[in-house]
Amino acid sequence: MEDLQQQAARWDQWAPYYDEDTRNQDPSRAAAALADLAGDGAALELGIGTGRVAFPLAERGTPVFGLDASQKMISCLEARQEQTPGGRSLVQARIGNMARFDLGTHYPLVYVIASTLFFLTTQEDQVSCFRSVARHLSPQGRFVVEAAVPQTSGLASERQQMIVREIGEEHLQWSAFVHNPVHQIVRAQEVHVGPDGYRLLPNVMRYAYPAELDLMAQLAGLRLERRAADWEGSPFTATSTHHVSIYSRQSADKGASPLTGASA
């Protein structure tokens, strides 16, 4: 089991480069869907990072509070706050363990995106995350999980693989992966070589299939309300590479889901 310090050390390394690494990912569709789910209330983001999604969500009127293991990630978020009108009042973050937290507050929306749940590297911690979330949901609240589907996304397709990310006259970036299917663990290194030398950005993930996440939800007193293939609400099929899953309290009586417009 990893402790918070181990997670923090890894993501402290990522912090100076995270925004550059995700520069081609458009957060607007996620922010729009999450704003609909939050309604007039606030949202809690687990693994808020530099606020890539939190700030577009806040611009839509949803106050966001976030937890992250990395102080350097939060420092990057705070630097972005200074450049965002109203950012300091609408987006706040603190150091915390998303596996086990007690904020003494209830939220209509808790969310974890971009497979961040998989950065909890044991099944025990992932189950604990669901239980912590359940304690913080308002009676009609929802928990949204966006994650890769291990097999179809390629995350768990091979024991070892290397992927070239970028290549230029003076730089090369690639990713190396080692897969342990017994424990559902993928260890990775993002490698960048250029005129200034090289850098290594490590990552460790414990992936879980959607059905396993549904069972974790049941153990926490939650149920799957709706699952889509993306933030636009496309149908989830056997070939979908990602999923956006919405969980709610098992006893809750829900109406229409904003991702699909269909009754749950």
pLDDT for res 56: 94
Taking 80 as the threshold, does the pLDDT of residue 4 lie above it? no
Reply yes or no on whether the pLDDT at 262 is more than 50.
Answer: no
Which residue range is the domain that position 213 belongs to? Answer: 4-150+209-249
Q: Look at residue 196 and tell me if it is in a domain.
A: yes
Q: How far is CA 90 from the centre of its chain?
A: 19
Q: Is the pLDDT of residue 44 over 70?
A: yes
Into how many domains does the chain fold?
2
Q: Is the pLDDT of residue 146 over 80?
A: yes
> Are 127 and 225 in a shared domain?
yes
Q: Do 28 and 146 share a structural domain?
A: yes
Measured CA to CA, the distance from residue 115 to residue 134 in angstroms comes to: 19
Q: Are residues 120 and 15 in the same domain?
A: yes
The answer to whether residue 259 is domain-embedded is no
Pairing state of beta strands 172-180 and 160-167? antiparallel
The mean per-residue pLDDT over the stretch 4-10 comes to: 84
CA gap 168, 183 in Å, rounded: 36
pTM strictly above 0.95: no
Q: Give the CATH number for residue 196.
A: 2.20.25.570
Q: Please tell me the number of Cα atoms within 13 Å of 131 on its side-chain side.
A: 9
Which tokens sit at 173?
Answer: 């970036």
Computed over every residue of the chain, the mean pLDDT equals 90
**113 falls within a domain:** yes
- Cα distances (Å, whole numbers) of residue 52 to 47, 83, 124, 184, 248: 11, 13, 28, 27, 25
Helix-helix angle 123-136:210-219, to 10 degrees = 50
Q: Clarify whether residues 45 and 100 are in a common domain.
A: yes
